[in-house]
């Protein structure tokens, strides 16, 4: 996953008509590192070459979608673009694409993320306090996953 944080805002996206926002990213291809995957996904979805600054979180996310339970493993990278890049100046919603699916991107203020339907649910709090080291997060969505 890509953490674009710039001037007190974070770049989020949602896929198609899905009401939930999340960090941009995608799946790793066979023989591809997670770092390479985040670079490729941002090139595909936003048509930008990003700089991967560092790994911030290794996340185990337990959730349920419809009647299926999932255990997602994710690497979350702090990423950036050259100073003054036009992506940093965008306001409002804008579109990206992947495999024929519209992806809606939008910068959101870091303050007030609790009011957004944002997945995984640890993000509003965690984005306020990004540590210098790598943090391992195990998140179980209590609303849908039995503990």
- The helix (run of H) or strand (run of E) holding residue 88 is helix 86-89
Q: Classify domain 2-140 at the CATH topology level.
A: Nucleoside Triphosphate Pyrophosphohydrolase (3.90.79)
CA distance 62 to 124: 17
Number of residues that this document lists for the chain? 147
Would you state the structure tokens that stand for residue 138, as one six-digit string? 């195990």
CA distance 124 to 113: 5
The number of helix segments (H) and strand segments (E) in the chain equals: 3, 7
pTM, rounded to two decimals: 0.91
Give the contacts of 14 (CB within 8 A, at least 6 positions apart): 20, 21, 22, 103, 104
What does the pLDDT look like over 2-38, one tens digit per residue? 999 999 999 999 998 888 999 999 899 999 999 999 9
CA distance 13 to 130: 20
Buried b / exposed e over 61-80, threshold 16 CB at 10 Å, is bbbeeeeeeeeeebbbbbbb
What does the pLDDT look like over 46-105, one tens digit per residue? 999 999 999 999 999 998 877 888 899 999 999 999 989 999 999 999 998 887 888 999
């Amino acid at each position: 996953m890509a953490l674009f944080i710039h001037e007190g805002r974070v770049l989020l996206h949602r896929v198609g008509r899905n009401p939930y926002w999340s960090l941009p990213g995608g799946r790793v291809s066979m023989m591809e590192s997670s770092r390479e995957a985040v670079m490729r996904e941002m090139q595909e979805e936003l048509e930008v070459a990003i700089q991967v600054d560092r790994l911030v979180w290794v996340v185990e996310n337990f959730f349920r979608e419809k009647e299926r339970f999932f255990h997602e493993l994710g690497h979350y990278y702090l990423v950036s673009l050259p100073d003054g890049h036009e992506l940093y100046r965008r306001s409002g919603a804008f579109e990206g694409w992947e495999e024929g699916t519209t992806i809606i991107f939008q910068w959101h203020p870091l303050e007030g993320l609790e009011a957004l339907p944002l997945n995984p649910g640890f993000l509003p709090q965690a984005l306020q306090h990004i540590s210098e080291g790598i943090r391992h997060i195990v998140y179980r969505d209590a609303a849908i996953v039995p503990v």
